[in-house]
Homo-oligomer: A and B are copies of this chain.
Amino acid sequence: MAEIVLLDDLEDPRLRDYVDLRDVQLRLRLEADRGLFLAEGEKVVRRAIESGHQPRSFLMSPRWLDGLADLLDASDVPCFVLDDASIEKLTGFHVHRGALAALQRPELASPQEVLADARRVIVMEDLADHTNVGGAFRAAAALGFDAVLLSPRCADPLYRRAIKVSMGSVFWLPYARVEDWYTAPDVLREAGFTTYAMTLAADSVPIDQVPHDVERLALIVGSEGHGLSPHWEKSADHRVTIPMAAGIDSLNVASSVAVACWELRSR
Contact = CB atoms under 8 A, between A and B. Distances in A.
Contacts of A252: 135, 138, 254
A95 interface: no
Interface string A243-257: 011001111101110
A242 interface: yes
Contact of A254 (B143, B244, B255): B255
A245 B144 contact: yes
A258 interface: yes
Each complex incorporates copies of this chain amounting to 2
A55 to B, nearest CB: 22
A173 to B, nearest CB: 10
B249 A142 contact: yes
B255 A138 contact: yes
A188 interface: no
A259 interface: yes
A87 B142 CA distance: 42
